[in-house]
Structure 1
Amino acid sequence: MFKDVSDLASCEVLIVDDSELMRKLLIGCLQDMCKVKTVESAEEAIQYCREDKPDLVLMDWVLEGMSGLDACKMMQATPELSEIPIVFVTSNANEESQLQCWEAGAVDFVPKPIVPKTLQNRVRTHLNYKIQADILRNYSFIDGLTGIYNRRFFDTEVARLLKQRHRVSHSLSTIMIDIDFFKKYNDHYGHLAGDDVLKQVATKLKDIVRRPLDSVCRYGGEEFVILLPDTPLQGARIIAKTLVRAIAGMQIEHTQSPHQFITISAGVASAAESCASVSSLMNSADKVLYEAKEAGRNTFKCAE
C-alpha cells in the first residue's frame, strides 16, 4: 500500500505568497508535476481551503496581514482544515524558526533562495504522504462487506452535518432502514446467502441515492442509514418511498417472509429547530422505523 505514487497530476498545491515573482517561480517549479493554484494572503488561503481542500499548501512565513505562522495555527485548530499539510517557504532557516514551524503544525519547510529540485522533491514526498493518508482514511470509513460507508463514517459525518446545519440553517434528513425478517433469511438460506443480500441491498441503495453530498452507510447488521444534507422531510419521504419499492422490486426470494421477497422498512426524520443532537435525530428516525415495522413492514413512516 505504501509504494511511491508516481502520477501526481490530479493533486493540487496551493501557493500562498504576496510576491508575484515568487509565485511565478514556484509555479514554474511545480506546474509539470501537479495542479497549482495561488493566492496572495493568509486570509485568502484559509477561505480557499474551506471551499476547495488542496492536497498541500506552500505558505510564505511573512505575509501582509495575517502571518503564515498564524494561518498555520488557525488551520491546525480547525477540524475540517487540519488534515491539509502545510510547508513553509521561508528565509528564516535558523533553529528557532524551524522550531516555530513544527510547533505551528507545519509538516516541513523549504528555505529561500529556492533550489527547484529540492522544492520538487519535498512537494513530491508530502503529496505521496497525503495520498497514502487519504487511502488509509477511506479504508477506515468503508464497510468491508458491502463497500459502502460504515458506522464510524456515519458517526463522524452526522455530527459534522448537524453542526453545519445549526451554523447555516440548512435542512438535514436521515432515513433509517432495516431489512425485514433478515434473521429468518439467514436461518433458512445460510449466512453466505445473507451476506450476498446485504451486498445487493447496499448496491441498490447507493445506485438510487446518488447526489455527491448524500451518504449511504451500513449502521450495523442488517441496518442501513442514509444522510441527506439540504433535504427537507418531504424530499426525504420521496426518496424513502423510492427505496422501499426498489428493494421489493429486486424480487430476491425470501420464503420465510410474508412478502415472499426481501423487503425493507424505513423511518424518515429531519433535524428540526428543536433537534440539537445526533441522538434526538436518530431517536426520531428509529421511532418511526419501529412504526413502519408495526404497520406490516415493506413500508416507511415519517417523523412529522
Structure 2
Amino acid sequence: MFNDVDDLSDCKVLLVEDSVINQKIIQVCLADLCDVAVVESGEEAIEYCLQSAPDLILMDWILTGITGLEACKLLQSKPSTANIPVIFVTSNVGESQQEECWDAGAVDFIGKPIVARTLVNRVKTHLKYKKQADLLREYSYVDGLTGVFNRRYFSQEMDRHYRQGQRANTTLSMIILDVDNFKKYNDHYGHLKGDDVLKSVAKVLKHCTRRPLDGAFRYGGEEFAVLLPNTPKEAAFEIAQNIINGLHQLGIEHAESPFDVVTASAGVSSTHTASDPAELIKQADTALYEAKKNGRNRVIEFSPEHEKSI
C-alpha cells in the first residue's frame, strides 16, 4: 500500500517558521510536492491545528513566544492533534537536542542550513506514512459491503459528537433505520440480492447526508444509523423522511412486502429528550419499533409516550 501512495498534492504541510527567508526557501522546495501553509509562532500553530489539522508540521525550534518544543508537547497532549507528525527544522542537531526532539514527540528533524533534496525526501516519506495510516484507519472504520461507516466507528463518533454538543449547547439528533421484511426478501430472492439491497440503502443514506459532519453507519444486519450533529429533531425527521422516500422510489421489487417494493422504517431521537448517548440510541430504537408497529415504510419521532406503550 505504501508504494501506491504517490500523489501527495492534496496533503497539507504546516510550516511554523518566523524567518521570512526560511519560509520562502521551504515553500519553493515543496511547491511541486504538497500544499504549504505558514504561521510564525507556536501559539498560531496550535490554533491552526485545532481548526484544521494538517498532515504534517515543519516546526522551527526557536520561535517568538513559546518554543517549538513546547508547542510540539502541547499538540501531543491534545487528542485531536496528537496524531499530527512533527518534524523539527533546526540548527540544534547535537545529541542532547535530538533527544529533546524525540521526547517532545517529534518524528524526525532536519538540520539547518536546509538541503533541498533532504527536505523534500523527508517530507515525502512522512507524508506517505501519514497518508497510509489514514487509509488504514479509514478501512478499519468502513463496512466492507456497503461502504458506509461501521458500528465500531458509530460508537466512537456518537461519544465525540455528544460531548461536543454538550459543550456547545447544540442538538445532536440520530436516525435508526431498518429495512422492512428483509428476512422475507432474503428467503425469496437470495442473500446476494439481499446484499444488493443493503448497498442501495447505503447509497440513499449517503445522498441524503451530505453535510461534512453528518455520518451514515451500518449498525448491524439490515439496520443503519445516521448521526446528525447540530441538527434539531424537526430537521432530522425531514432527513429521515427523505431517506425513506428515496428508498421507496428506487422501486426495488419485493414480492413478499405489502408495498411490492423494498421499503424501510425509521426512528428519530435527539438530545432534546435524551440525557446521555445510551438513552439517545434507546429512544431512536423505541421510535423505530413504533414505526414498525404502525405499518412500516414510515418515520416516527420519539415521544415519551412511546415508552409507556412498550
> Which TM-score band applies after superposition, normalised by the shorter structure?
over 0.9
Equivalent in the alignment of 1:291: 290
Matches for 1:84-103 after TM superposition, within 5 Å: 84-103=84-103
What is the total number of aligned residue pairs between the two structures? Answer: 303
Hey, what's the Cα distance between the residues in 1 that align with 2:203 and 2:142?
13
Equivalent in the alignment of 1:113: 113
Equivalent in the alignment of 2:45: 45
Identity of aligned residues (%): 53
Hey, what's the Cα distance between the residues in 1 that align with 2:111 and 2:275?
48
Query: TM-score by structure 2 length?
Result: 0.93
Greater shift in the superposed pair: 112-121 or 175-184: 112-121
Cα drift, residue 223 of structure 1: 0.5
CA deviations over 1:102-144 (Å, ceiling 9, x no partner) = 2221111111221121111111111111111111111111111
CA deviations over 1:65-87 (Å, ceiling 9, x no partner) = 22211211221221211221111
Equivalent in the alignment of 1:260: 260
Equivalent in the alignment of 2:75: 75
Equivalent in the alignment of 2:276: 277
Hey, what's the Cα distance between the residues in 2 that align with 1:197 and 1:33?
42
Hey, what's the Cα distance between the residues in 1 that align with 2:7 and 2:194?
40
Is 2:301 the partner of 1:302?
yes
Matches for 1:238-253 after TM superposition, within 5 Å: 238-253=238-253
Hey, what's the Cα distance between the residues in 2 that align with 1:2 and 1:139?
15
Greater shift in the superposed pair: 51-60 or 5-14: 5-14
CA deviations over 1:181-210 (Å, ceiling 9, x no partner) = 111211222111111111111112212222
CA deviations over 1:40-60 (Å, ceiling 9, x no partner) = 111111111122221110011
Cα drift, residue 281 of structure 1: 1.2
Greater shift in the superposed pair: 225-234 or 71-80: 71-80
Matches for 1:1-304 after TM superposition, within 5 Å: 1-3=1-3, 5-272=5-272, 275-304=274-303
Greater shift in the superposed pair: 204-213 or 32-41: 204-213
Hey, what's the Cα distance between the residues in 2 that align with 1:206 and 1:14?
31
Hey, what's the Cα distance between the residues in 2 that align with 1:134 and 1:8?
13
Check conservation: 2:274, 2:283, Cα contact below 8 A. no
Hey, what's the Cα distance between the residues in 2 that align with 1:87 and 1:6?
20
Check conservation: 1:4, 1:128, Cα contact below 8 A. no
Letter in 2 for 1:51: Q
Check conservation: 1:269, 1:302, Cα contact below 8 A. yes
Shift >4 Å, 4+ stretches:
none
Check conservation: 1:8, 1:127, Cα contact below 8 A. yes
Query: TM-score by structure 1 length?
Result: 0.95
Cα drift, residue 213 of structure 1: 2.0
Check conservation: 2:88, 2:108, Cα contact below 8 A. yes
- What secondary structure does 2:89 align onto? strand
Cα drift, residue 88 of structure 1: 0.8
Greater shift in the superposed pair: 241-250 or 41-50: 241-250
Hey, what's the Cα distance between the residues in 2 that align with 1:34 and 1:255?
54
Cα distance change on mapping 1:37 and 1:253 into 2, 3 Å: same
- What secondary structure does 1:3 align onto? helix
Check conservation: 1:11, 1:127, Cα contact below 8 A. yes
Hey, what's the Cα distance between the residues in 2 that align with 1:173 and 1:79?
24
Cα drift, residue 91 of structure 1: 1.8
Letter in 2 for 1:291: E
Greater shift in the superposed pair: 171-180 or 207-216: 207-216
Cα drift, residue 268 of structure 1: 0.4
CA deviations over 1:252-283 (Å, ceiling 9, x no partner) = 122222222211110101113x7443212111
Check conservation: 1:174, 1:270, Cα contact below 8 A. yes
Greater shift in the superposed pair: 232-241 or 87-96: 87-96
Cα distance change on mapping 1:105 and 1:243 into 2, 3 Å: same
Hey, what's the Cα distance between the residues in 1 that align with 2:234 and 2:259?
27
- What secondary structure does 1:197 align onto? helix
